[in-house]
Amino acid sequence: MSTIAFLGVGAMGAPMARRLLAAGHPVTVWNRTRARAEPLAGGGARVARDPADAVRGADIVITMLAGPAAVLAVADAALPGLGGGARLVEMSTVGPGTVAELAARLPEGTTLVDAPVMGSVDRAATGTLSILAGGDVAPVEPVLAELGTVTRCGPAGSGAALKVVLINAVIGGVALVGEALALGDALGLPEELTRDALARGPLAGPLRRALDTDAHYPLGLAAKDTALARAAADLPLARAAHGLLLGASGIADQDLGRLVPHIRTERQETL
């Protein structure tokens, strides 16, 4: 069994850490808000006082944090505790640029794998995440397999890059569903009729995601992820989606599906 440090046990990280504990791994957890880490002690986790304390003696260090700034700050705080030969698995959505910056900060002998995930809290709890892994994946793959299905994407940074591509496709699809329903409203169509027709066409997947009540991917994080896409390329749809997400700042803690009624309400308010 691998000795694991898990940094960031919020909505996604906590169920992932629980799965590793259930698999028998010794797990130390740390979270900026300690109260979110403490419930894991009941499952056998050690709650660390700081990132350096958490990673001391760990074979594998997993980070699951809000974004690039948090990842780099926590990594810097953890560096004094990292031992030679440790493997850092970065599972947040940060983009390949941050992965490269993180790799440059790590001490010699520390291996970095970028392994962001597709899937929300429901799939984190059941171990059915889709894990997009870049770098030297083989030594950490048995641990990642406890969390979901691993896709090897190529060299370091490739998993992070693919995650930005896929999550922006999801965001754009949900926004398009919202616009389609808003157009149906404007044309006087019954909502059920429009939804049923969308469910039989190419937007069936985005529609299911928009209506998913078990997922929790906050709009604020979606805005961060569209910003990552916009920083990489000139993308008109990502630019529009980013504007919509920024306009929903008052509900930034709510799930992506909430973007659909937001778009429909915005349309009504501009009439």
Residues assigned a catalytic role: 163
- Give the CB-side neighbour count of residue 215, counting CA atoms within 13 A: 18
One-letter amino acid identity for 60?
A: I
User: Could you give the CA distance from residue 79 to residue 105 in angstroms, rounded to a whole number?
Assistant: 9
Residue 14 host element (H or E): helix 13-22
CA nearest 89: which of 72, 111, 118? 111
- DSSP assignment of 94-161 equals --HHHHHHHHHHSPTT-EEEE--EES-HHHHHHT-EEEEEESS-GGGHHHHTTTEEEEEEESTTHHHH
Token pair listed for 31: 């979270």
47 strand-pairing partners: 29
Token pair listed for 122: 């429901």
User: Could you give the CA distance from residue 139 to residue 18 in angstroms, rounded to a whole number?
Assistant: 21
